[in-house]
Amino acid sequence: LAHRKASSRSCGFVEICQERRGSKSIWVKNMEETSIANGGRVKRKSAQTAQDAQLARALQEELLRGNRGKKPKCEELGINLKAEKEQAKHAAMRESPKKSRAGGAASNTEEDFDDITEGEPLMRHWVRRNEKGFLEADARRGCCVCDDCAQRLADEMINGSGIVVIRGAISEQAAAQARVAVNKLTLAEEKSGRRVEGELGPSHRRIWNLLNEGPPFTTLITHTLIFKVLSRVIGVDFTLGSFSANEIGANCPQGPAHVDYPYSMLQSFPSDPMACQAIFCLDEWSAAKGATRVQLHSQKLKEHPDRDEKLETVVEGKVGDLVMYNSLLHHRSGPNSTRNSRIGLLGQFLAKYVRPMEDQVRGVTEKVKKGADKRLRQLLALDCPFPILDPTAGTSYD
């Protein structure tokens, strides 16, 4: 009887180990530790082994849900369970009204999950390389763009294809609100005769000084996703160089291939990234409506493109998508062969040491500056004034 009791006390434990950052998987290792009775190791019964395996699976799933330990890298969070797919659908349906009212990520519908086939991993942090060759994250599937996601997107802009897209970064309601605001500004310019014609002709229009209109523009330019990703590309204290609405009207011709400011003003380029562009899609961006064309990986060439260079990749998007790319990437607007215009909000972001393309401090009204939050103050460089040269200080500046 004593021998049986000693044998029954043999037990096992599960050690869950997560490899360092950059590992390709999360592994669970079962380690068995048995007591020694009568000088020999007692084998674990098959029933106990099955219980340990079941416990290991339960603990692994708990870790994957983020309820225990450090959150693993986002690309490893796939779960091939039909039940998980259904739960994600229902959770998305419950959360969508809250996000819509808050102007957050686009609301989820059953159609958003239609292209997720059974057996395909349902990514809680959904980042993947699409068929065109660049990375995209999908906020409509619940991707919150954690630190690992943001770093992957930043690396893609620097050393990868040069461009990323976050699907459903803002809700359709928020995009529609911004679209209405742009339309009001357009009508006001036409009535006052101050319409600014774009460089592509009468069907191309640019609207500047959006920050002076306040929300929704001041809200969008300080979007969390912009700060999460671009701070890893051009530094945590990056500033705003320009913010405007760009309308490609019906039958507008394609633009020339180019790089953006400040690279457009330089003949040689430094090794560190100096600038990035971010575009909020307020309309559907399709090839027929003149969606942006790019040459993937061209930012690595560090050279100006030929104006007539053929750019092969069309970056299409839906209402609410956020497109971000390295300003050194070769790109152009495509021709709009439809009867409808497409509008995007273009934000130009610069490393702190780069002179802005527009004088943001003088161009923005005092009302906007006084009501600016921490992020907007950073973008306007309000807390980084030029030094005052005091002649009474006895310092020579010669």
C-alpha–C-alpha distance, residues 229 and 154, integer Å: 6
C-beta separation of 321 from 283 below 8 A: no
Count CB-CB contacts under 10 A for residue 313. 18
Please give the Cα distance from 315 to 293 (Å, whole number): 6
Give the residue among 265, 249, 253 at the shortest CA–CA distance from 207: 249
At residue 163's C-alpha, the angle toward residues 129 and 330, to 5°, is 130
Phi, psi (5° rounding) for residue 367?
-60, -45
The tens digit of pLDDT for each residue in 123-180 reads 556 889 999 999 999 988 777 788 999 999 999 999 999 999 999 999 999 999 999 9
Alpha helices in the chain (DSSP H): 2-8, 46-64, 82-102, 147-159, 172-192, 217-221, 224-234, 360-363, 366-370, 374-380
| Close Cβ partners of 182 (under 8 Å, ≥ 6 residues apart) | 207, 245, 247, 282, 343, 345
Residue type, 59: L
Residue 342 near residue 289 (C-beta atoms within 8 A): yes
Q: Closest by alpha carbon to 180, among 282, 278, 248?
A: 282
Helix (H, G, I), strand (E, B) or coil at 8: helix
The DSSP call for residue 239 is: E
Residue 131 CA, chain-centre distance (Å), reads 18
User: What pLDDT score does 126 carry?
Assistant: 82
Cα gap 266→282, rounded to integer Å = 31
HSE-up (13 A, CA, CB side) for residue 378: 16
Which stretch of DSSP H or E encloses residue 326? strand 322-326
Cα distances (Å, whole numbers) of residue 219 to 16, 104, 180, 259, 374:
42, 11, 15, 27, 12
Residuewise pLDDT in 10s, the chain (398 residues): 444 444 444 443 333 333 333 443 433 344 444 444 444 444 444 556 666 666 656 555 555 554 444 444 444 333 333 444 454 455 445 444 444 444 444 444 444 434 443 444 445 568 899 999 999 999 887 777 889 999 999 999 999 999 999 999 999 999 999 999 999 999 998 888 777 777 888 899 999 989 999 999 999 999 999 999 999 999 999 999 999 999 999 999 999 999 999 999 999 999 999 999 999 999 999 999 999 999 999 999 999 999 999 999 999 999 999 999 999 999 999 999 999 999 999 999 999 999 999 888 888 999 999 999 999 999 999 988 666 665 565 544 33
Both structure tokens of 393: 């200080």
Give residue 202's pLDDT.
87
List the one residue out of 277, 275, 276, 316 whose CA is nearest residue 293.
316
Look at residues 208, 169, 117, 193 and name the one whose alpha carbon lies nearest to residue 321.
169
3-state secondary structure of 173: helix
Q: Cβ of 12: how many Cβ atoms within 10 Å?
A: 16
- The pLDDT, as a whole number, for residue 35 is 43
**DSSP letters spanning 119-146:** TS---SS-EEE-TTSSEEEEGGGT----
Question: What is the model's pLDDT at position 50?
Answer: 63
pTM: 0.69
* Alpha-carbon gap, residue 247 to 178, rounded angstroms: 13
Beta pairing class for 11-17 and 40-41: unpaired
Q: Are 351 and 273 in contact (CB under 8 A)?
A: yes
Segment 31-38 long-range contacts (CB within 8 Å, at least 24 positions apart): 34/10, 35/6, 35/7, 35/9, 35/10, 35/11, 37/3, 37/6, 37/7, 37/10, 38/3
